[in-house]
Every structure is written in structure tokens, then in C-alpha cells.
Amino acid sequence: MNREPALVREEFLGYQADMLIVHVQIHVKAECVEAFKAATVTNARLSLLELGVLRFDVVQQADDPTKFVLVEVYRDAEASAAHKESAHYPVWRDTVASMMAEPRVGVKFNGVYP
């Protein structure tokens, strides 16, 4: 079988054209950084147990520890919607609401490569 390695890789790893990537930009109050990290790591770990969540990264800005980005990769838009209906998401959302220095901003991306 003469197939392009990328096609074999896509089939093997389950990449899909309708994959949805969300970057959530978050700015928290300085006094809430550690509590925010604890709540958000718990949410990320539980999110990774969802079938439609392919990746859920929590990153902290190097030169400003009050700024974070959540990098959420979903199999498709339906998986993103299902995530918001999970038992743990509203707990996280309500827990961190008062920790925000400003409203969080989500930006949606379509996967191009890989």
C-alpha cells in the first residue's frame, strides 16, 4: 500500500478536519493566582477524562504570573458544547468567577495542521 505518511498518521491518531481549538485568555487578581491555578488544574484533569477533549493545557505567562491561557482542543464543536455541560465545568466557572481581574476571552480556531 503506497500511502502518504501524513494520511496514515491522521487515521492512526484520529485527526479530524472539524477539530475545534479554543484559546481562553485569562487575567486573574494577583492575590488569587495560586487558588486559580489549583482550581484550573483540577478542571483540566477532569476535562481530559471527557471523550471529546483531545488536549487541555493550562499555561501561565512568564513575565506576568496573573495571566494565563487555556488551550482546549476538542474533537468537534459538539464536544466543546458537551464540556460546558459536564459536572465539573460549572464548579470551576463559579469558583474562579470572583478571581478574575477582567472578563476572560475565548478565541476559537480551526485546526490546519496537524
Percent of the chain whose pLDDT exceeds 90: 79
pTM value is: 0.84
The H-assigned helical ranges of 14-106 are 33-47, 77-84, 88-96
What pLDDT is stored for residue 3 in this prediction? Answer: 45
Of residues 23 and 9, the one with the higher pLDDT is 23
Question: Which three three-digit cell numbers place residue 29?
Answer: 487578581
CA distance 18 to 26: 25
Q: Does domain 24-110 have CATH number 3.20.20.140?
A: no
pLDDT score of 49 more than 60 = yes
The mean per-residue pLDDT over the stretch 67-90 comes to 96
Q: Where are the beta strands (DSSP E) in the chain?
A: 20-27, 53-60, 67-74, 105-110
Predicted confidence band at 7 (pLDDT cuts at 50, 70, 90)?
very low
80 Cα distance to chain centroid: 9
